[in-house]
Amino acid sequence: MGKHSCCYKQKLRKGLWSPEEDEKLMNHITKHGHGCWSTVPKLAGLQRCGKSCRLRWINYLRPDLKRGAFSQEEEDLIIELHAVLGNRWSQIATRLPGRTDNEIKNLWNSSIKKKLRQKGIDPNTHKPLAEVDRKIAPTISTERTSESSDIDPSSGGALGNLSHLLSETAQSPELLPVLGKHRKETTSLAHLRVPSKELFLDQLVSGNDNLPSCRSTGPIPNFPFQQLMCYSNEFGGKHGGSTNPLWFNQNESSCSTISTVMPPVSPSTLSTSTGLNRSPDNPHSGGTGIQSNQFYWDTTNPSSSSNKGSSGSNSLGFELQSTSSILENSIFPWTDLSPDKNSHLEEELKWPDLLHGTFTDTPATIQNLSQSLYEDVVKAENQFNMEGLCAAWSQNLQPQQHLQVASDLYDKDLQRMSLSFENI
C-alpha cells in the first residue's frame, strides 16, 4: 500500500512539530483517546496526517515516556537484546519501559555501534571484529559485509533463522532433514521433530478412542505434536535423557523424552508467570554436566505451578514442561545441556566481558531477558489449540469432520508456532 492515504491530501504540514500542535494533539488524546488515527488530525484541528500524529504521540507526547539519557544498564540491555533479536527495535523497546523503538534505534546507530566497534566488537554479530573479519574474508566478494549493514532484519539476530527453520520444516515435514543445512547455527534445533500432517491426523484418529473427556485432567493420548516438543532418541540419550517419561510418549521409537526439569504448570499460570530461574547448583539439571547457566522451575514460586509435585499434565493434559527443553536447547544456546556447548556459552557472553573488562558470570539482565523471552514462547505455546480439538470431539462430529478440524488446526498451529518463534 505504501504511503498512508491521508498523506496524499493537500495542505498537510510536515517537519518538526510546533508546541501549539503538540498541545492540540495532547489535549485531544487526553480527552478522547486516539481512536482511529486517521480521524485524529481533523478532530484535533491539526494539519497533519494521522500517521504523523500517531508517531508524534508514541515517540514524544506519550505520558509514560522516560526522558533523559539512557543509563548504562539500559545500554547493556539493548546490546543483549540486539544480540538476540537483531534490528527488531519495537520488540527491544517493549523490554525497556518508557523507551521507544525510534529512540533505541537512534541510540544504536549513533552511539552504541560506535562504542562496540571501539571495543573491538562487531555490532552486527556481537563477536570480536577479528573473528568476524576472518569469517567474512572468503565470501566478501559476494556477501554484504558487517560494516556496510546491520543484521538482516529478517534474521532476528543470533536466533534469527529459527523461524525460517520452522517454516521450512512445515514445508518439508518428514523429520526435517533440511535442518542439517543449518546445523552449525542451530545445532540443537536439528533434533526437533515435526510430524507430517498425515502422521498428525493418523495418530489423532488412532487415539480418539482413548479420549474419555476433553476436559479431563488426564492425558490426551496420542498427541502427535509431542514430537515437536521433544528430541530424538539419539539426542535425549546422549545428553542425559531422563527416566521421567512424558505421558503422551506413546511413540518411543521416534521420540524419547529428555530431562524434564520442571514440574507441570498450567497454561493459565504460565501465561502470567513462569517461575523460571537460574539455578546456582541446579539440582534439577538432569545430570547433564553444566552446573551453572541453566534454568529450572522454581517450585517455591507459588505462581510457577498450580499442581506441583504431581507428575503428568495440566488441566488440558497438555504437557508443557518439554517447552523448557526447546528453550534450553534451541532458543537459548547458552543453556544448552550438551557439554560441548560450553564454548558457545562463553561466546555468547563475550560482549559484557569485553565491554566492562570483567566477565559477568550470570548477568541479571540476561536472566531477565531469558525469562521474558521464555514467557513469550510459553504464551504462544499456550495458544496451541488443544481446546479446538477438544471442542471438535465434544460436538459429536463425524470422524471426517474431526479430521477436517484437526487438519485445519495442524496448519494453523504450525504456522502460529513458527510465528511465535519468530517473535522472540
| Footprint of DNA (CB under 7 A) | 1-7, 13-17, 35-39, 48, 50-52, 54-56, 59-60, 69, 87-91, 101-103, 105-107, 109-111, 114, 150, 153, 419
What number of other Cβ atoms are within 10 A of residue 411's Cβ? 12
**Residue 160 Cβ, how far from DNA at the closest point, in Å?**
12
**Residue 356 Cβ, how far from DNA at the closest point, in Å?**
20
**Residue 186 Cβ, how far from DNA at the closest point, in Å?**
21
Euclidean distance between CA atoms 317 and 267, whole angstroms: 10
Residue partners of 415: CB distance under 8 A and separation at least 6: 170
- Amino acid residing at 311: S
| Nearer Cβ to DNA (77/276) | 77
- How far is it between the farthest Cα atoms of the chain? 72
Place of cell 569485553: 354
| Nearer Cβ to DNA (233/423) | 423
User: What crossing angle do the helices spanning 364-382 and 399-422 adopt, rounded to 10°?
Assistant: 160
| Nearer Cβ to DNA (37/393) | 37
CB 76 within 8 A of CB 365: yes
- Amino acid residing at 259: S
| Nearer Cβ to DNA (114/356) | 114
Cα of 393 vs its chain's centroid, Å: 31
**Residue 85 Cβ, how far from DNA at the closest point, in Å?**
8
| Nearer Cβ to DNA (38/266) | 38
**Residue 45 Cβ, how far from DNA at the closest point, in Å?**
16
| Nearer Cβ to DNA (165/349) | 165
Place of cell 576472518: 134
DSSP letter assigned to residue 153: G
| Nearer Cβ to DNA (87/321) | 87
**Residue 53 Cβ, how far from DNA at the closest point, in Å?**
8
**Residue 44 Cβ, how far from DNA at the closest point, in Å?**
13
Range list of H helices, 190-330: 197-208, 226-229, 233-238, 267-270, 322-326
Place of cell 563475550: 350
**Cell triple for residue 256?**
524419547
Euclidean distance between CA atoms 345 and 355, whole angstroms: 17
